[in-house]
Homo-oligomer: A and B are copies of this chain.
Amino acid sequence: MLSHKARYAIRAVLYMAAEGDESKHFSVDRLAETLELPRAFLAKALQELARKGFISSLKGPNGGFYLTRVQRRRTFKELIVAIDGESLFEGCMLGLPECDTSQPCPIHASVAVMRQSLEYQFGLHTIEALAQTLRHSSMRI
């Protein structure tokens, strides 16, 4: 469903969005320790997100990763797609070269219904919205 890279990155991003702001930065070391994730692998994932503009980073002492206000307005779906690509939201689930209603595979209709739900759930919720529910209710992360 989600790659490990995506899971790790999402957890770190939501954690930073919930706990930090533009002036509070998080080092990979701290994130990896807090969330109990493989340090170097998480670093790669976050660097990739920084390169793609989904998060910001600063080098040097007191540096680290953080999210700007603008970056918090990206949807959760955009975040997933940035790491894992569109396969969750597009393409035939049986691997046929095309996925459309004109020549669908036997599960296309079911997949379409499920994807509408996905689209609705992940396409409307921004990172900030998820961070807010995280802040206001003692959820795990």
Interface string of A127-141 (1 = CB under 8 A from B): 000110110001111
Q: Report whether A14 and B117 are in contact in the complex, using a CB–CB cutoff of 8 Å.
A: no
- Give which listed residue, B104, B118, B131, B139, contacts A139 with CB less than 8 A: B104
- Give which listed residue, B87, B114, B130, B138, contacts A114 with CB less than 8 A: B114
Q: Report whether B105 and A113 are in contact in the complex, using a CB–CB cutoff of 8 Å.
A: no
Q: How many Å from the CB of A129 to the closest CB on chain B?
A: 9
Q: Which residues from chain B contact A130 at a C-beta distance below 8 Å?
A: 106-107
Interface string of A72-107 (1 = CB under 8 A from B): 000010000000000110000111100000011111
Q: Report whether A94 and B134 are in contact in the complex, using a CB–CB cutoff of 8 Å.
A: no
